[in-house]
A and B are shown apart, each in its own frame.
Chain A
Amino acid sequence: MEAVQRFIRHGFLSYKALFGWLDPKVYIFVMVLSPISQLIFFSMLVNYVYKGENLLGYVAANALLLCVLNAVFGIMSVITSDRWMGTLPLVMATPYNKASLFLSRSIAHVLNGLVTAAIGLGFGIILFHLSISFKEGLVLLIIWLCSIFSAAGLGLILGTFCLWSPSMHLWSNLLASLLLLLSGANYPYSRMPEWLQLLGQFTPLTRGVQLTKDILNDGNYSNVAVLLGEEILLGIAFFAISFLLLKFAEYQSRSKGTMEFD
């Protein structure tokens, strides 16, 4: 029980310590206005090109993609901020299980991602005079939570890479672009060449987008269980890989001494 309390407390305190720099003005710009502008751009674009067909699905899919701000950029800060603050060596030297540590830190960003996506969806619905039912909303919530969890796993892998490579902006933007492209949020999935479709099966959010479109455009709930299961498994695999990488990074730091944690 105490372990659970510690887990939760760590998530909360580390979020405050590493991320709490956002003053209200910057927060509004970065976490609200910027994602919304992305949503509006793509929604208007697909509305024009597809002449309003399947608009709800596309708007919602784009809203889901907004989580990338938190699931990639936010999650990466879980590692890089600690390093920038100079506290990473101290944290790594404590006895606390490192997998639990980074998992607990990720949760805050997953939740934040859900909020960002929800704000996007709300805004899109109002702007385009759309509507969704309560049932649809609830199912979407669950699907999105799992999808964002999966994206966070990939974000954490990227975060560990930053221990080796200093160019974190490059990697994070690359991943954000890849997810936007491969998830198929803005076109029918079949438009992509087969090899890209295959690649998309290994990236998060693809299944979340697929389910979002299925449910909102066609009222089709048949694939939910399968795709959701796959998305969660993918997320677990990502987190597992990132923990292995972290262990390797720690080992390298101790044996080579060149990859300093500071």
Chain B
Amino acid sequence: MNLAVSLVHTILVHMKLSIARPMFKFIIWISPLFYSTLAIFIYGKDSPETLFHYVVLGSGFMALWSSIVFSSASDVNRERFYGTLEIIFISPVPFAVTLIGKIIANTLWGLISMILSFVYLKFVFQLELVFYHPWVFLAALLFVLLSLAVFSFFLALAFTLSRQAEALMNFIEYPIYLICGFLFPISYLPAWVQGISYVLPPTWAIQLLRDVTTETLSSQTVLFSFTALVSLTVLYILIGVYFYRLMDKKARFHGKLGVY
């Protein structure tokens, strides 16, 4: 019970902390508008379904992803820089709870940002939001958020372990947009790149949302995407746990957690 309370508390506190930073304000409120506008200018006129799948969902995902990655990774980096990483680590609330709380907070902001881009595209550019089966969409969306949160937990840990995090952070936006097929289908990419796409959760996340918003909803297709996403999520949970243990050892045994 205590743990749940600390979690909720961490989430709320962190949501406030995050949005207080000017750069994060940009990522949540302004950057989605740019992505959406760019996407719609590029696509121009096309079928509502295509526009929804690639412009609306695509730019929404770009917003969501930017928010998650930027905040999670840079948060770890900032804590390390300020030397507070070790302090949080040994605090009574388990580090994992703090980290998870942060990620959920950032994911929630990412969701808000995504909704903003949907609203913007609907009202400014009169794009149709073709949900077809709204409840299915909602369920899928929630699962997608969960799976992306897990993935960003994994990333945050990877960043904590590695000093190269800072350099990598800048590099993680465009490649993901490209490889995971946010604005165009991955079938357009060379085969070897698609191989990489298939092991990244965001690929299946956006595919799942596309599958549930197709007029001809095929439960087979949806199930396939869903299963792929679940498997990957589980995989990343396992890797995440392994990384976590590794980080714990590195910190307490080698004393290298705070090395910046």
Contact = CB atoms under 8 A, between A and B. Distances in A.
Interface of A: 25-26, 29-30, 33-34, 37-38, 40-41, 44-46, 48-49, 167, 169-170, 173-174, 177-178, 180-181, 186-187, 191-192
Contacts of A45: 42, 183-184
Nearest to A27: B167
B23 A46 contact: no
Contacts of B188: 44, 48
Given A44-B188, A45-B184, A181-B34, A174 B26 contact: yes
A29 B25 contact: no
A170 B178 contact: no
B22 interface: yes
B38 A44 contact: no
A46 B34 contact: no
Q: Which 4 A-B pairs have the closest CB atoms?
A: A167-B22, A29-B167, A37-B174, A170-B22
A26 to B, nearest CB: 5
B8 interface: no
Interface string B116-146: 0000000000000000000000000000000
Nearest to A39: B174
A37 B172 CA distance: 9
A41 B178 contact: yes
B92 interface: no
B23 A167 contact: yes
Interface in B132-176: 164, 166-168, 170-171, 174-175
Given A48-B184, A186-B42, A187-B41, 18 more contacts: A26-B166, A29-B168, A29-B171, A30-B167, A33-B171, A37-B175, A40-B174, A41-B174, A46-B42, A49-B42, A49-B184, A167-B22, A169-B22, A170-B25, A173-B31, A177-B31, A181-B34, A192-B41
A171 to B, nearest CB: 9
Contacts of A192: 41
A28 to B, nearest CB: 8
B170 A29 contact: yes
21 contacts: A25-B167, A29-B170, A30-B170, A33-B171, A34-B171, A34-B174, A44-B178, A44-B189, A45-B183, A45-B184, A48-B184, A48-B185, A49-B184, A167-B23, A169-B22, A173-B26, A173-B31, A177-B31, A186-B41, A187-B41, A187-B44
A38 B171 CA distance: 9
B18 interface: no
B2 to A, nearest CB: 37
B43 interface: yes
B41 A34 contact: no
